[in-house]
């Protein structure tokens, strides 16, 4: 039991140091992310949710990731509007919001509206169209490979 108490002591000490550092550097999103990660690892997910939602501190994608992790840990993710969470979470660099295109927010809606078409760019436009002969040849190579690997 002594070793467990020692681990808790050092965890609490590291968490307190990270919190102090984050409080002194409110505009540094990396220090905020480090503190939120330490708080989540220490089991203080409710503190992570409270701090992130206060919007009193700088944040970045790592902070958003720790916030979502805390919501899952506290079983509060179901009560959040994910669209609002991603677009207005206060992420300073906007990388989390940029990672999800506005049309992609509602799954399956992209390209269905004539006013919002889906554009496709071919990686190799000069690639020849596969023939029936090509597809049967590649299929037979796959089946030989599969049979060889799984036949025992």
pLDDT in tens, 122-134: 666 666 665 555 5
Q: Report yes or no on whether pTM surpasses 0.95.
A: no
Residue-wise pLDDT tens digits, 18-70:
999 999 999 999 999 999 999 999 999 999 999 999 999 999 999 999 999 99
Long-range contacts of 4-11 (CB under 8 A, 24+ apart): 11/41, 11/42
Residue 139, helix vs strand vs coil: helix
φ and ψ at 11, to 5 degrees?
-65, -45
Cα torsion 59, 37, 65, 70: sign: negative
Q: Check residue 100 and report its DSSP letter.
A: S
How many contiguous H segments (helices) and E segments (strands) does the chain have? 7, 0
């Amino acid at each position: 039991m002594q070793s467990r108490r020692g681990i808790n002591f050092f965890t609490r000490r590291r968490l307190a140091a990270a919190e102090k550092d984050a409080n002194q550097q409110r505009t540094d999103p990396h220090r905020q992310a480090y503190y939120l990660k330490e708080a989540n690892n220490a089991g203080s997910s409710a503190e992570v949710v409270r701090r992130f939602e206060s919007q009193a501190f700088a944040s970045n994608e790592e902070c958003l990731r720790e916030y979502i992790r805390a919501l899952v840990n506290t079983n509060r993710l179901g009560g959040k509007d994910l669209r609002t969470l991603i677009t207005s979470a206060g992420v300073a660099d906007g990388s989390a919001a940029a990672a999800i295109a506005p049309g992609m927010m509602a799954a399956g809606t992209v390209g269905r509206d004539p006013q919002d078409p889906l554009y496709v760019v071919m990686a190799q436009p000069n690639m020849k169209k596969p023939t029936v002969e090509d597809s049967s040849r590649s299929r037979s190579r796959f089946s030989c490979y599969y049979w060889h690997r799984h036949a025992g």
